[in-house]
A and B are shown apart, each in its own frame.
Chain A
Amino acid sequence: MMLDLSTTKAKLVFFAVAAAIGFFLFFPVYWTVISALKSDNELYQIVPTAYPHAPTLDHFKTALTEGQLPKLLGNSLFVSLSSAAFNATLATYAGYSFAKYRYFGRKPVMMFMLSAQMFPFGLLLITIYPMYVEWGLLDTRLGLILSYIVFALPVATYMIYSYFSQVPNELIEAARADGASDLRIFHTIVLPISIPPIVTVFLYSFMWSWNDLLYSLTLIVSDDKRTVAPGLLLTYLNETNADWGGAMAASLMAATPVILGFMFLQRFFIQGVTAGAVK
């Protein structure tokens, strides 16, 4: 709408740039999908085929039956759902508190919590690790779930906060005039209208936990508790073996849950994430 594409030259430039960026964005996805569908014979050729000539689901089957993948996916699902629920709950109450109440120290605390997004995650891990050893949380799912506060809580709280600041005070004050307690008002009036932002924050936290490699690689030691990102790394690309077909198939399956969640919630999600930065 903003460009004038009536001349041939303008059209050419527009489509050339669009094609180049489009290629960069989508070719890797295409290549992953077709590589996962090729047989090993077809995969390991010096001159690769542009599409699978004999598509097969073997890599998917092998990944699901012989490898650790179902176990990894299960572990990740449990950890990510729990940490998303935990973060979304904490963020919802904290965000509401920041948006609607005034008390001593509110602004500095809020500022400080937000700034935590910029603490280097790797630096925190250095002390979380010995702390977990001491608390007996190392190599436990609970420990990993709690650790994802580092990634998700600050931004999640801000997202919820910016939503609640838009909720008109009259709504709450009217209910107060009717004699409802603030806790009851929050649970029966404010929460029901706030499902979209809460779901957004849930998905945001879920995505961080699901995609994380750094913390899950370090804080989980035993194989039976391993989650999907470190699991993929340790299974498919190790010193002795590189099973690229399997890696591609497993990658696609590992990405599926976040992609599905995203498809439904894309619009809310973008609004939530860009909130505050774009006015």
Chain B
Amino acid sequence: MPTDLSQAADARTFRPSPHAKRGGLRAGQGRFGVMLLLPALIAFSLIVLSPFVQALGLSLYKYTISTPEPIFVGLANFKKLLADPTVRGSFVTTAVYVFFTTFFSITLGLAWAIILNEPFKGRNALRGISLLPWIMPATVSAFIFGWIFNSRYGVLNAVAMEFGFIEHPQAWLSTTSGAMTAIVMVKVWLSIPLFMSFFLAGLASMDREQIEAARVDGAGNYNVLKDHILPHLRPVILVVVVLGMIGNLQQFDSIYALTGGGPVRATSVLSVEVYRRAFEQWDIGMAATIGVLWVATILPPAYFYLRQLMKGAE
């Protein structure tokens, strides 16, 4: 065995640089590579892949609390679902939820990034604490907004009454639009920090001279934003839209903790609907069927995102 690993000493001070040669080692040893991968691959296959495939399969079975063994029914579940207005309702609810959460978190995240990109005292500290909502457990965020929206003692009621918008305290979370507004607000609140980080990273690579040149030509803030900053951020915006859509389609915790999918089904997005069918009604087959349709909605943005990620990979 070699004892002279003196070159390793240099390695300790190594910082990855974008100019370093990337990619795989020239000489093979592919078998060793496979061995390194194996533990992750086994764990992945057992806990992720096999449940996924099985779940897809379950959509073809009738499997409820009254059928101890799954019964193959072919596409009957799908037929039943398409005729079921509550499921159609769930898709509409999800579409509304995903549209508003994605739209507002990106708009506000972008605005906040542009603001925090300007030099001012305390900017770095502000950037740091801006991440707070993101790292909060979603359950905690749901608590926070549940308290703000509280029907008797919530600060929202107090402020709205003070300004004369309402006369009596409102039970916001008991109305369809109030509950939807609340779950959208929580998710937007949770998402702004992450999106802000993406946009700040994108803004950092902006060419300042280009903006200064535009200024000399008489461009105002609006033109700089429209003609220079937004076009530069286009690829980032695309990624963030896709990432946001995937995340919002997946969101469960904050919704379930805040409204439980209610009132009635008003906030029963697909994630909540699947959970309720499976673990409250124990109708596993139907839950899986809804899940399959849910996968179908995630696939297009997922495909786009993966392509983007793999672009850099060899």
Binding site for B on A (CB under 8 A): 1-5, 10, 14, 17-18, 21, 24-26, 28-29, 31-32, 35, 43-48, 89-91, 93-94, 96-104, 106-107, 109-131, 146-147, 149-150, 153, 157-158, 161-163, 165-176, 178-180, 182-184, 186, 188-190, 192-193, 207, 210-214, 218, 228-230, 232-233, 236-237, 244, 247-248, 251, 254-255, 258-259, 262-263, 266, 270, 273-274, 276-279
Q: Using an 8 Å CB-CB cutoff, how does the interface string of B242-256 with A read, 1 for contact, 0 for none? A: 010010011011001
- Which of A32, A129, A184: most chain B Cβ within 10 A? A32
21 contacts between A and B (CB under 8 A): A1-B117, A2-B224, A21-B111, A46-B169, A93-B39, A97-B34, A101-B36, A103-B30, A113-B41, A120-B298, A122-B278, A123-B292, A149-B48, A166-B18, A168-B14, A175-B8, A211-B137, A213-B138, A213-B256, A251-B137, A270-B197
For window 192-240 of chain B, which residues contact chain A by CB distance below 8 Å? 192-194, 197-198, 201-203, 205-206, 208, 211, 215, 220-221, 224, 229, 235-236, 239-240
Which residues does chain A contribute within 8 Å of B141, judged by CB atoms? Answer: 28
Q: CB of B87 within 8 A of chain A?
A: no
Q: Which listed residue, B23, B147, B194, B294, touches A120 by the CB 8 Å rule?
A: B294
Q: CB of B279 within 8 A of chain A?
A: yes
Contact B7 A171 (CB under 8 A): yes
Q: Which listed residue, A4, A99, A233, touches B139 by the CB 8 Å rule?
A: A233
Contact A48 B24 (CB under 8 A): no
Q: Which listed residue, A4, A121, A182, touches B250 by the CB 8 Å rule?
A: A121
Q: CB of B78 within 8 A of chain A?
A: no
Contact B25 A3 (CB under 8 A): no
Which residues does chain B contribute within 8 Å of A170, judged by CB atoms? Answer: 21
A117–B298 Cα distance when bound, in Å, is: 11
**What does DSSP make chain A's interface, helix, strand, loop or mixed?**
helix
Binding site for A on B (CB under 8 A): 1-2, 4-5, 7-8, 11-12, 14, 16-18, 20-34, 36-37, 39-41, 43-44, 47-52, 54-55, 58, 108, 111-112, 114-115, 117-119, 128-133, 135-141, 143-148, 150, 152-153, 155, 157-158, 162, 169, 189, 192-194, 197-198, 201-203, 205-206, 208, 211, 215, 220-221, 224, 229, 235-236, 239-240, 243, 246, 249-250, 252-253, 256-257, 270-271, 274-275, 278-279, 284, 287-288, 291-292, 294-295, 298-299, 301-302, 305-306, 308-310, 312-313
Contact A167 B278 (CB under 8 A): no
User: A276: nearest residue on chain B (CB-CB)?
Assistant: B309
Which residues does chain A contribute within 8 Å of B287, judged by CB atoms? Answer: 126
**What does DSSP make chain B's interface, helix, strand, loop or mixed?**
helix
Q: In angstroms, how far is the closest chain A Cβ from the Cβ of B188?
A: 8
User: B37: nearest residue on chain A (CB-CB)?
Assistant: A97
Number of A-B contacts (CB under 8 A): 377
A89–B34 Cα distance when bound, in Å, is: 15
Which residues does chain A contribute within 8 Å of B208, judged by CB atoms? Answer: 1-2
Which residues does chain B contribute within 8 Å of A228, judged by CB atoms? Answer: 137
Known interface pairs A126-B284, A172-B25, A193-B12. Does A2 touch B139 (Cβ–Cβ under 8 Å)?
no
Contact A232 B139 (CB under 8 A): yes
Contact A176 B253 (CB under 8 A): no
Q: Which listed residue, A107, A173, A270, touches B26 by the CB 8 Å rule?
A: A173
